[in-house]
């Protein structure tokens, strides 16, 4: 069973070095978290799995890594300056601020008072000054989504790769939103990471591709250990759609605090490419909202036969890395009763997500022969390129196994006297079954490779 409470996950994440409150020694910065030694591995593994599925395993997607600081003009024409807001209310009694759409009744969740202000719009974008003079005129936004730089680079990618729709551009990176009430651990934070694909298609093919991407994303989450039984699809009603969307399907996950959005899959139509394009009147843009007088580009594709220009539609699967990490942790977490009456905590990650793939443990802490052989085995396994292999010399194998169960290490390899004095075999211990098996060092690389394939 997945973890029953957020407290258990937060405690494990801190105890074992996955996730820490940011600036904790000074009291913490609200809505910010730091990923520790194991958290950075887990997060990188999740991002790598997304990149593999989106870019390497398909032949119709290119990658991008764009700047975080964004020109205000970009976010004006994208509609974010005017509409990227949440409704905010203040409690006149305790002075706390809340999102009006998060209140279940018209009461302050802090003190219970009903003396609240009328909701007003609060823009979620962070601003920072650029250059040496802070006179308020030269500023940039920290991007609120990674998507906009994909749109503004559309022509660069098209021209440098000769792509034509249907094709996509994928990007992973930080995004920033000045959330009114960050909460629920890494679920709602002010600095987070997104994994976004903008998939450009001919107008008219958009609805079919939208369905394709919903299915593809559900399959991908399942491959990360988040089964369909823990997910729900929410077809966002028209009055809740973002300003750019014709239709959005949210992938909702059973987080410990409730069912909430893990990923949004939107049909953004030709809204963004159209909005960033000059001379829009020459083009047949369905979602034109503003006449762009600043852009010098036509973000469109020419039909080679009849020479007309067409602005592609775009389907956007947009997933949060941090919410993904939380879902994966929650699914992997289990507390098991043991036959001897004790219990153990296990993170049963899919092997490709496990922060440490194999721990190599010498049976005797101070035995030169065993230690040297264990170090050598670690280095040889490391060369396989499977991820982090940890050599750990504490001399207490039983405790080592428990600790590695708790951080999700799929295999522990113990080097003992038999290894160096007898038949050059090691003990391989399995995280999930706790079964132990003797494997010859010669066959270990193939054995580990096979066991880590998921
Ligand atoms: P919510 O309704 O929960 O505020 P959203 O609909 O504004 O989310 P999108 O704009 O669709 O979110 O962003 C795409 C993805 O980015 C979300 O599905 C989520 O995984 C992630 N995300 C958005 N805001 C945050 C946040 N404040 N903290 C962590 N992840 C976030």
pLDDT for 134: 79
- How confident is residue 70, by pLDDT bands cut at 50, 70 and 90? very high
pLDDT for 2: 53
- Identify which of 22, 31, 78, 194 to mutate to test ligand 1's pocket (most ligand atoms within 8 A of the CB): 194
pLDDT for 59: 95
By the 8 A CB rule, do 175 and 146 touch? yes
Query: Of ligand 1's atoms, which has the minimum distance to the CA of residue 263?
Result: 18
Give the chain's end-to-end CA distance (angstroms, integer): 20
Write the pLDDT tens digit of every residue in 388-415: 999 999 989 999 999 999 999 999 999 9
Query: Of ligand 1's atoms, which has the minimum distance to the CA of residue 177?
Result: 27
Whole-angstrom distance, CA of residue 95 vs CA of residue 110? 9
**Rounded mean pLDDT of 65-70?**
98
Query: Of ligand 1's atoms, which has the minimum distance to the CA of residue 266?
Result: 11
Among the listed ranges 3-12, 340-349, 367-376, 418-427, which one has the minimum average pLDDT value? 3-12
pLDDT for 362: 98
**Rounded mean pLDDT of 342-368?**
97
3 CA → ligand 1 middle, Å: 22
211 CA → ligand 1 middle, Å: 21
pLDDT for 281: 77
**Rounded mean pLDDT of 257-279?**
95
- What CATH number has the domain spanning 356-452? 3.40.50.800
- Identify which of 172, 173, 261 to mutate to test ligand 1's pocket (most ligand atoms within 8 A of the CB): 261
User: Which residue, judged by its Cα, is nearest atom 9 of ligand 1?
Assistant: 264
Opening angle at CA 249, ends 83 and 179, nearest 5: 40
313 CA → ligand 1 middle, Å: 22
264 CA → ligand 1 middle, Å: 8
- How confident is residue 287, by pLDDT bands cut at 50, 70 and 90? low
- How confident is residue 65, by pLDDT bands cut at 50, 70 and 90? very high
Locate the domains of the chain by residue range: 42-80+127-329, 85-123, 356-452
pLDDT for 283: 81
User: Which residue, judged by its Cα, is nearest atom 25 of ligand 1?
Assistant: 188
Dihedral of CA 84/86/197/352: which sign? positive
Q: Say if residue 290's pLDDT is above 80.
A: no
Whole-angstrom distance, CA of residue 150 vs CA of residue 272? 10
**Rounded mean pLDDT of 20-38?**
97
Q: Which residues, 6 or more positions from 18, have their beta carbon under 8 angstroms from its beta carbon?
A: 12, 35, 36, 38, 39, 42, 329, 355
**Average predicted confidence (pLDDT) for the chain:** 95
Query: Of ligand 1's atoms, which has the minimum distance to the CA of residue 196?
Result: 14
Write the pLDDT tens digit of every residue in 305-343: 888 899 999 999 999 999 999 999 999 999 999 999 999
Dihedral of CA 140/141/146/147: which sign? negative
- How confident is residue 237, by pLDDT bands cut at 50, 70 and 90? very high
Q: Say if residue 40's pLDDT is above 90.
A: yes
222 CA → ligand 1 middle, Å: 20
User: Which residue, judged by its Cα, is nearest atom 2 of ligand 1?
Assistant: 261
Query: Of ligand 1's atoms, which has the minimum distance to the CA of residue 251?
Result: 18
Whole-angstrom distance, CA of residue 147 vs CA of residue 315? 11
Query: Of ligand 1's atoms, which has the minimum distance to the CA of residue 324?
Result: 20
Whole-angstrom distance, CA of residue 184 vs CA of residue 255? 9
Whole-angstrom distance, CA of residue 316 vs CA of residue 210? 8
Write the pLDDT tens digit of every residue in 213-234: 999 999 999 999 999 999 999 9
Contacts 24+ apart (CB under 8 A), 384-388: 384/445, 384/448, 384/449, 386/357, 386/358, 386/448, 386/449, 386/452, 387/41, 387/45, 387/352, 387/354, 387/356, 387/357, 388/41, 388/355, 388/356, 388/357
- How confident is residue 288, by pLDDT bands cut at 50, 70 and 90? low
pLDDT for 324: 98
**Rounded mean pLDDT of 158-172?**
96
What phi, psi does 255 have (nearest 5°)?
-70, 160
Q: Alpha helices, DSSP H only, in 175-232?
A: 206-223
User: Which residue, judged by its Cα, is nearest atom 11 of ligand 1?
Assistant: 264
pLDDT for 3: 55
92 CA → ligand 1 middle, Å: 29
Whole-angstrom distance, CA of residue 296 vs CA of residue 294? 7
**Rounded mean pLDDT of 341-350?**
96
User: Which residue, judged by its Cα, is nearest atom 22 of ligand 1?
Assistant: 320
Whole-angstrom distance, CA of residue 328 vs CA of residue 227? 10
User: What's the pTM?
Assistant: 0.95
Ligand 1 lining (C-beta closer than 6 Å): 177, 179, 188-189, 192, 194, 261-264, 318-320, 322-323
pLDDT for 105: 86
By the 8 A CB rule, do 358 and 370 touch? no
Q: How many other CB atoms are there within 10 angstroms of residue 187's CB atom?
A: 22
Bridging pattern class, strands 69-70 and 97-99: unpaired
61 CA → ligand 1 middle, Å: 23
- The CATH class, in words, for 42-80+127-329 is alpha beta
**Rounded mean pLDDT of 53-62?**
97
- Residues facing 156 on adjacent strands: none
Query: Of ligand 1's atoms, which has the minimum distance to the CA of residue 144?
Result: 10
| High-pLDDT (> 90) share of the chain, % | 87
320 CA → ligand 1 middle, Å: 6
User: Which residue, judged by its Cα, is nearest atom 4 of ligand 1?
Assistant: 188
Whole-angstrom distance, CA of residue 310 vs CA of residue 34? 44
**Rounded mean pLDDT of 92-98?**
92
Closest CA to 79 of 287, 283, 282: 287
Query: Of ligand 1's atoms, which has the minimum distance to the CA of residue 189?
Result: 28
387 CA → ligand 1 middle, Å: 29
340 CA → ligand 1 middle, Å: 44
- Identify which of 217, 233, 252, 320 to mutate to test ligand 1's pocket (most ligand atoms within 8 A of the CB): 320
């Amino acid at each position: 069973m997945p973890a029953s409470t957020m407290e258990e996950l937060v405690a494990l994440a801190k105890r074992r070095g996955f996730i820490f409150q940011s600036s904790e020694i000074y009291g913490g910065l609200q809505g910010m978290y730091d990923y520790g030694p194991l958290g950075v591995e887990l997060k990188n593994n999740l991002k790598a799995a997304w990149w593999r599925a989106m870019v390497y395993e398909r032949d119709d997607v290119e990658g991008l890594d764009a700047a975080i600081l964004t020109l205000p003009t970009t976010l004006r024409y994208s509609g974010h300056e005017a509409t990227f807001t949440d409704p905010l209310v203040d409690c006149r009694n305790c002075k706390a601020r809340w999102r009006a759409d998060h209140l279940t009744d018209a009461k302050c969740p802090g003190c219970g008072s009903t003396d609240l202000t009328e909701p007003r719009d609060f823009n979620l974008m962070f601003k920072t000054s650029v250059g040496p003079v802070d006179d308020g005129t030269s500023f940039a936004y920290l991007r609120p989504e990674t998507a906009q730089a994909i749109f503004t680079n559309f022509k660069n990618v098209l021209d440098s790769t000769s792509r034509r729709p249907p094709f996509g551009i994928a990007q992973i990176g930080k995004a920033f939103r000045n959330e009114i009430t960050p909460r629920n651990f890494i679920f709602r934070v002010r600095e987070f990471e997104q994994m976004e694909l903008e998939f450009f298609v001919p107008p008219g093919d958009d609805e079919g591709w939208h369905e394709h991407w919903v299915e593809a994303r559900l399959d991908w989450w399942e491959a990360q250990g988040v089964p369909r039984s823990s997910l729900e699809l929410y077809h966002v009603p028209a009055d809740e759609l973002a300003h750019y969307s014709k239709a959005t399907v949210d992938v909702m996950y059973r987080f410990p605090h409730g069912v909430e959005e893990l990923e949004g899959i939107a049909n953004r139509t030709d809204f963004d490419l159209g909005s960033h394009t000059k001379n829009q009147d020459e083009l047949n843009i369905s979602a034109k909202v503003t006449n762009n007088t600043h852009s010098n580009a036509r973000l469109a594709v020419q039909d080679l036969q009849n020479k007309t220009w067409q602005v592609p539609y775009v389907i956007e699967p947009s997933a949060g890395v941090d919410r993904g990490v939380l879902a994966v942790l929650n699914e992997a977490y289990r507390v098991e009763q043991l036959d001897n009456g004790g219990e153990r905590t296990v993170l049963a990650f899919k092997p490709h997500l496990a922060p440490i793939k194999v721990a190599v443990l010498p049976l005797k802490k101070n035995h030169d022969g065993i230690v040297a052989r264990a170090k050598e085995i670690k280095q040889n396994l490391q060369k396989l390129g499977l991820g982090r292999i940890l050599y750990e010399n504490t001399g207490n194998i039983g405790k080592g196994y428990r600790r590695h169960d708790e951080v999700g290490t799929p295999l522990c390899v113990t080097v003992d006297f038999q290894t160096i004095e007898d038949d050059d075999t090691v003990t391989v211990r399995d995280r999930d079954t706790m079964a132990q098996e003797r494997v010859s060092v010669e066959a270990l690389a193939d054995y580990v490779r096979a066991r880590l394939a998921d």
